[in-house]
Copies of this chain bind each other. A is one copy, B any other.
Amino acid sequence: MNISFDERLDGELVRRDKTEVLTDLQQAVPTLTLLHREEDLHPFECDGLAAYRILPMLVALPETLDEVEGLLKRCHALGVPVVTRGAGTGLSGGALPLERGVLLVMSRFNQILKVDPEARLARVQPGVRNLAISEAAAPFGLYYAPDPSSQIACSIGGNVAENAGGVHCLKYGLTVHNVMRVDVLTIEGEHMTLGSEALDAPGFDLLALMNGSEGMLGVVTEITVKLLPKPETAKVLMASFDDVEKAGRAVGDIIAAGIIPGGLEMMDKLAIKAAEDFVKAGYPLDAEAILLCELDGVEADVDDDCDTVRRVLTEAGATDIQQARDDAERAKFWAGRKNAFPAVGRMSPDYYCMDGTIPRRELPRVLKGIAALSEESGLLVANVFHAGDGNMHPLILFDANKEGELALAEDVGGKILELCVAAGGSITGEHGVGREKINQMCSQFQPDELSIFHALKAAFDPQGLLNPGKNIPTLARCAEFGAMHVHNNELPHPDLPRF
């Protein structure tokens, strides 16, 4: 599948000859591994959003800080853009290469530098896998809370770039809430340390700014994360509903009852069927929707909470409630949820995964809207989501080989995101904007807000060399997309730098 790109997104950069850049980098940083032959570049042409593919000009695989610094300094001097990539599992095309840019792959920065059980912190390199941190902390009874579905593969550096979430974020927060410090190299090759092992930091909150910045402000070279004590116990309830809106309402009822579950997930009939066929999770195939509610903490507390949640679920109209009998069944319940995306992938040649957020109370209304859009378009939509924090992942099923279906899927996806924004939510909860949702940013933000984003970007990277064309749309793009208020046919702030 090919997507046509707006060349203007990185159109104002100098076009450098590949051989010139390669020779320059080889001379300046002789130890740096650089891939340049087309067959070597192919594995890097996309990230987890495989619908978007671009062959990078060069791929750099540094092993030392000096190599990263040297690379950035030369790219800065030459005016060559740099896209940083972790494990490449991102779902919004945030690590999509540029055909005239260097792809900086941080996967060789894969060392856990320190696990400090007393301070409850781990210092790690950005290429370390998310799950590897919890594995290293396990001997001390600790773990790292944010757990994207891709946690076996995704890197912590990518998690910072996209401010990744996961099942546990309702209770334990997003990546930004679990990172204490990042070490960063600017595009000029300057070292910066943002945050510390101590509480807070004076000045403006650059640490929070770096989380979710999608590699546009600097290259993260080291990360200090919080570790949490492993809960004494965790129990999972699975509730069935004969109506998807009832399940949506039950979510709000649980929170309103004073419970913050460790995880609170929802799947609709189509997602249930897909997951059950794929992993035999023990899901009820006759239910219109299920809720999975994990309660964690000390034994007595969890038992109390289970009782409360059972009562709330029953009152909300659950037709059946099962409690996982042991850790094996608990793992099975979760396996269905965590494999829901590939499971849906088996049902349809292609699917398009959305990532909108909404205030919890809007769940029933937005679900109804999605059902209407599905019916209207004739495309099936499977709903899988972090219900507790209102983070929806509708999966739109389509077949790219059928004339017009991709465009139709994108249209439905866009409308779902607009529904989320209209309900007081946002176009991304945890997957990031990347390349994919750049147009929807025009719906989410006003020109004044976008201008501030541009100025912030320019504060770190005045030439716009770091990951241009992602995350923040140009004002011109928004004007063209039509979601922007343009007065008197003039763009606001026409003199702002574009990136």
A427 B211 Cβ-Cβ under 8 A:
no
Q: How distant is the Cα of A385 from the Cα of B98 in the complex, in angstroms?
A: 51
Q: Which residues from 171 to 218 on chain A have a C-beta closer than 8 Å to any C-beta of chain B?
A: 173-174, 176-177, 186, 190, 192, 196-206, 208-209, 211-213, 217
B452 A199 Cβ-Cβ under 8 A:
no
Q: How distant is the Cα of A213 from the Cα of B174 in the complex, in angstroms?
A: 22
Q: Would you give the 0/1 interface string for A215-253, flagging 1 where the beta carbon is closer than 8 Å to chain B?
A: 001000000000001000000000000000000000010
Partner of A200, one of B174, B255, B260: B174
Which of these binds chain B: A22-30, A52-60, A70-78, A456-464?
A456-464
Which of these binds chain B: A264-272, A376-384, A437-445, A477-485?
A437-445
B449 A192 Cβ-Cβ under 8 A:
yes
With contacts A258-B141, A304-B298, A453-B204 taken as known, whether A190 is within 8 angstroms of B429 at the C-beta atoms is no
Number of chain A residues whose Cβ lies closer than 8 Å to a Cβ of chain B: 78
The answer, yes or no, to whether A1 is at the interface (CB within 8 Å) is no
Q: How many copies, total? A: 2
Q: How distant is the Cα of A298 from the Cα of B163 in the complex, in angstroms?
A: 32
B177 A200 Cβ-Cβ under 8 A:
no
Chain A interface mostly helix, strand, loop or mixed? Answer: loop
A151 to chain B, nearest CB (A): 18
B459 A199 Cβ-Cβ under 8 A:
no
B472 A200 Cβ-Cβ under 8 A:
no
Q: How distant is the Cα of A315 from the Cα of B119 in the complex, in angstroms?
A: 19
The answer, yes or no, to whether A125 is at the interface (CB within 8 Å) is no
Which of these binds chain B: A4-12, A129-137, A356-364?
A356-364
Q: How distant is the Cα of A197 from the Cα of B358 in the complex, in angstroms?
A: 8
